[in-house]
Amino acid sequence: MATTVATTAATPLTPPTPMETFLARGGQLHQVDPSKKEAQVLLSPDTVLYPCCLQASNRSQVLYKVLQDMREGNISCLNLPHGFETGYDPWKRYEGLTPDNWFEYLCDGAVNTDADPIHPCFKQAFGVPKRPKFGQPYVEAKQKFEKNQYAQQKQPAPPLWFPLNRDDFCIIPLTTIEQNRKMMYQFFNLDFYGPALFEKNPTRRHLFFAFDRGVDMLLNRLNQMKDGSFKQVTIVSMPYDDEASKAMKCYKDIVKTQNLPPTTTRTEVVATAYRRVYHQFQDVIRLNTTENRRLFPTALVV
């Protein structure tokens, strides 16, 4: 007599979240508490630092300045600011481009020129220009090389291949745009996110600073790197608003509510916001010294 065996459908496993995947691969995540005006991260001199925000325009630029000043100008382990949304890494749409999806990623180009309306405010606040975005020097060097090559052949240079504005997509084939985006995607894989980069020196830590939803974007991007460990990688979540952008948009209200002289300019208001953000970051990030470890025993040491 045949025996009937009861069977049940296999319950599909819930895929791990990006954070769970990152932690399972050895990564660490630490969140700063803005309400605590004390050191929460202590930096060792050889830790590689990655200041990141959404556009690499304000918060990561100020953070870069804080980290640069903290290390007395030594930037050997300090990467240029990176923007997850409009930086030079086309991770959201680097392949399979169509007329219906190419605009899901757009690089807004350089932010360290006066063509950026908020740039003079940064210069007034700190006496120096913004830094280039990560990837920008590579792109500019490649474009200069190509321009010289065309000049030698007495041919007109092609349109800038990266970044592109919306009008450029009318004259440059999508296949060319996709080719260039893939190249930048691989550039970031090797020079910014790659586990091979992290594992080159087994004792060196790599510390990514990210703001707001940039943490989720960073986790997704790191997890696109399929191989390797993140044991040397720490993400510090920085839940701070973009005060400079807010001041840029609402400077008249700020002048009124703070009873500032009516002659106060937008540049002065935004520069003040930049300096305030600088001191906020300076409060929570310090150098890893014996004295600081004694004063701030609960701070993350990395």
pLDDT digits (tens, 9 = 90+) for 27-48: 999 999 999 989 999 999 999 9
Please report whether residue 118 resides in a domain. Answer: yes
pLDDT at 12: 62
Average pLDDT, the chain: 89
Residue 256, pLDDT above cutoff 60: yes
Domain that holds residue 190: 18-140+180-301
Fill in the amino acid letter for 13. Answer: L
Helix or strand (DSSP H, E) at 58: none
Please report whether residue 146 resides in a domain. Answer: no
Q: What would the pLDDT profile of 158-199 be if each residue is shown by its tens digit?
A: 666 666 656 666 677 888 889 889 999 999 999 999 877 887
Number of domains in the chain: 1
Comparing C-alpha atoms, which of 150, 151, 132, 128 is closest to residue 140?
Answer: 132
pLDDT at 6: 47
93 to each of 52, 107, 111, 202, 216, how far by Cα in Å? 19, 11, 22, 32, 17
Fill in the amino acid letter for 283. Answer: D
Comparing C-alpha atoms, which of 204, 205, 197 is closest to residue 228?
Answer: 197
Please report whether residue 228 resides in a domain. Answer: yes
Peptide bond into 34 cis (omega under 30): no
Q: Is 129 exposed, middle or buried (0-12, 13-18, 19+ CB in 10 A)?
A: middle
Helix or strand (DSSP H, E) at 257: helix 243-257
Better-scored residue on pLDDT, 189 or 73: 189
Please report whether residue 13 resides in a domain. Answer: no
Please report whether residue 115 resides in a domain. Answer: yes
Share of the chain above pLDDT 70, in %: 91
Share of the chain above pLDDT 90, in %: 66
Please report whether residue 169 resides in a domain. Answer: no
pLDDT band at 148 (very low <50, low <70, confident <90, very high): confident
> What is the pairing mode between strands 82-83 and 48-53?
parallel
- Cα separation, 259 vs 273, in Å, equals 16
Please report whether residue 123 resides in a domain. Answer: yes
270 to each of 31, 96, 214, 257, 265, how far by Cα in Å? 27, 40, 23, 15, 9
Cβ pair 164, 102 in contact under 8 A:
no
Please report whether residue 206 resides in a domain. Answer: yes
- Residue 241 sits at φ, ψ, to 5 deg, of -75, 165
Whole-structure pTM over 0.85, yes or no? yes
pLDDT at 13: 78
pLDDT at 165: 59
Q: What's the rounded mean pLDDT across residues 53-72?
A: 96
Q: What would the pLDDT profile of 75-128 be if each residue is shown by its tens digit?
A: 889 999 999 999 999 998 899 999 888 888 888 878 888 778 899 999 999 999
Largest CA distance in the chain: 98
